[in-house]
Structure 1
Amino acid sequence: MNIFRHRPLGLLAPALLVAVAGCATADDSATVAVPSPDAKTAKVCRELHRALPRKLDGRDRNDPRPRSAYTAGWGNPAIILRCGVVRPPKMVDPGVAQGDDPDAVAGGVNGVDWLMEKQSDGTWRFTTASRVAYVQVSLVKGMSPQDEGASVLTDLAAAVKKAIPRGIASMR
């Protein structure tokens, strides 16, 4: 029995569209989900966007698509920054990783506290703590959190300190 015989071909078009939309574009720009911060958070994220460095760990600025004041990127493949993200589930209190999880470690670099999380694909993600907005930085696969990660966070510290005041971010 042919299970497709009674299904309209129109159902295949949306599935194909979703599959194609997930593919990389010809210009090698990364695509990322743009955060939707509240008004207070959006203001400091726009300030951060203006303060971000043109180079990060020797990589040129290469912002992801869609273009937004809440996202930035460097290199190809890109190190991605997203501002105004929701609090990571592993962040119990600002600056504190939950329990003794080896894949979630809290620490500070040049006056900015971060939660460092190993992702299921082996990449590392850092999220600011003790700031009025959560800023998330995702490293490129293969980058070491101790070496390149430390360099990336060092390069971002001045901009984060300038634009994102210390405090407690929205719990959303």
Structure 2
Amino acid sequence: MDRESRIPKALAALPAPVRWLALPLALTCTVVVLVGSWGPGDADIEVPQPSGRAADYCRALAAALPQELLGHPREDPSPASPYVAAWGDSPRTVLRCGIDRPEELDGEHAKDLSPTVDDLTWWSQKLSDGGYRFVATMRAAYVEVTSPPGVYGSPLDPAAALTPLVKANIPG
């Protein structure tokens, strides 16, 4: 079997230099498409897995969440989950519903600042990046709102804006 008979007819019609570049070019394009589709991803957002009534409450909350929060459009992470919502792009505000009870509520941080908005208590924790984590306590499902640094006048603003929806969908 000679070399020319091993080349597909579509490629055999092309000049030799073009044939030599066809495979490396196709591989390069494939790698670029794959790497581009991976993007930065949302691997840093852990998706809660609530069960029973907590899952039902979280799905009801998800259906009630706004498409815009304090001027930032809703841009949920991928893959989509009824237990996670996000607004803005980078940095962004993230809501997670049905999280496990934070261990910090039993430790030295249990007495950290816990602001109350419309009779809903949000336990707060300052994060290493300068943002804040707020967890709605005394509810049938724990709801966490992460507020990025420097985006709002007060880091509590997103949690405060979501308070009526949390109260309406997750009983205390």
Per the TM superposition, whether the score is higher than 0.5 is yes
Give the number of equivalent residue pairs: 136
5+ unaligned residues in a row in structure 2: which ranges? Answer: 1-34
Higher relative contact order structure (alpha carbons within 8 Å, sequence separation ≥ 6): 1
Greater share of helix residues, 1 or 2? 2
The change in CA–CA distance for 1:30 and 1:111 in structure 2 (over 3 A counts) is farther
Query: Which one of 72, 88, 98 corresponds to residue 75 of structure 1?
Result: 88
- Asked if residue 98 in structure 1 is aligned to residue 110 in structure 2, the reply is yes
| TM-score in terms of structure 2 length | 0.69
What secondary structure, in the 3-state scheme, does the structure 1 residue paired with 2:141 have?
A: coil
What secondary structure, in the 3-state scheme, does the structure 2 residue paired with 1:154 have?
A: helix
1:25-64 counterparts in 2 under 5 A? 25-26=38-39, 30-31=42-43, 32-64=45-77
Distance (whole Å) between structure 2 residues aligned to residue 117 and residue 138 of structure 1: 10
State the Cα distance separating 1:58 from its structure 2 match: 0.9
- Asked if residue 122 in structure 1 is aligned to residue 144 in structure 2, the reply is no
Q: Which amino acid aligns with 2:77?
A: P
> Counterpart in 2 of 1:66?
79
What secondary structure, in the 3-state scheme, does the structure 2 residue paired with 1:90 have?
A: helix
State the Cα distance separating 1:55 from its structure 2 match: 1.1
Percent identity, aligned pairs only? 34
Indicate the RMSD between aligned Cα atoms, in angstroms.
2.6
What secondary structure, in the 3-state scheme, does the structure 2 residue paired with 1:65 have?
A: coil
Distance (whole Å) between structure 1 residues aligned to residue 154 and residue 77 of structure 2: 20
What secondary structure, in the 3-state scheme, does the structure 1 residue paired with 2:78 have?
A: coil
* Structure with max Cα Rg: 2
Distance (whole Å) between structure 1 residues aligned to residue 62 and residue 55 of structure 2: 10
Query: Which one of 139, 151, 165 corresponds to residue 157 of structure 2?
Result: 151
5+ unaligned residues in a row in structure 1: which ranges? Answer: 1-20, 167-172
Distance (whole Å) between structure 2 residues aligned to residue 56 and residue 66 of structure 1: 21
Q: Which amino acid aligns with 2:110?
A: Q
Q: Which amino acid aligns with 1:75?
A: G
Residues 6-59 of structure 1: per-residue CA shift (max 9 Å, x gap): xxxxxxxxxxxxxxx9x9954x76442110112121010001101111111110
